[in-house]
Amino acid sequence: MSCSKDETGEVTGSAVMLCTDAENKKICDLTHDGALCGLPRADTIRALINQQRIPTVKNAYIALTVLDKYKACLENVVLAQSSIQKSDEISRFSTIANIPKFQDRIVKETKGVRPEINLWLYQKTGNADYWESMVNGVDMAVDVHQDVYTVMMAKAATRSMDEAREIADLLLDRTEFLNDLAPEVFEFYIMFNLKNENNFKAAVWHGLYTEYIKENPGINTRYFKFHRKMASSTLDKAQNLVDSIVFDTNWKGVKVKELRNALI
């Protein structure tokens, strides 16, 4: 079971079990063999195996970003020097040195339209050419990681909220389930609707945000009543809509396209 794949074909096992498979030896050898940064290491191993088995642009991007997190974790660890820990320290430094090389290989081997890779390269270098390539790539690809949209959305919002709204709407159109949306998307629609004084939709988005992201259900009635001057009856309608969205769905969640009119 630990080596099994989920319904999307992705590996979802423990690092220990995955590393017993000879097929994964090179990936497991890349990681630090001590007890440091156990969770980032496990995430790294799973992401690299997924990228190796299903070499999509999105999987390559996920692999690059988890490697960044794993490397940062190892760099932040300070070990007391002792003879017992010496081999541990050598392994840690070796892993830190090898991660950028492995990332370079992933970038070179990932072909086709790749906005996610260009986002990663832009964030690493600040080179505007990568940003332009990323933006152009979004129009040519359908299955794009949400990070691309949320970064574009944030940058557009500094120029025009309507421009940012177009990007947010595009992300909605390309996302199947509401609970798959990134927190930034919920936050954007709350802010956009408040700015445009559509308090009802702002309240609905806030209720969905607290349900799916904060896991602390309930619209902030105090804020909407006293600061946005919303009537209790309107707030009740908003909360009832949120409740119907949350509870009247199957186990996978509600499909965005079924709610587009209510939310947008």
Would you say residue 1 has pLDDT above 60?
no
Q: How far apart are CA 245 and CA 179, in angstroms?
A: 11
91-95 long-range Cβ contacts below 8 angstroms, 24+ apart: 91/32, 91/33, 91/34, 92/32, 92/34, 92/36, 94/32, 95/30, 95/31, 95/32, 95/71
Cβ pair 118, 134 in contact under 8 A: yes
* Residues 42-75: tens digit of each pLDDT: 999 999 999 999 999 999 999 999 999 999 999 8
Q: How far apart are CA 250 and CA 252, in angstroms?
A: 6
Mean model confidence pLDDT for the chain: 88
What mean pLDDT comes out for the span 33-50?
A: 89
Q: Is residue 115 packed enough to be buried (19+ CB in 10 Å), middle (13-18) or exposed (0-12)?
A: buried
* Residues 78-129: tens digit of each pLDDT: 654 554 466 777 888 899 999 999 999 999 999 999 999 999 999 999 999 9
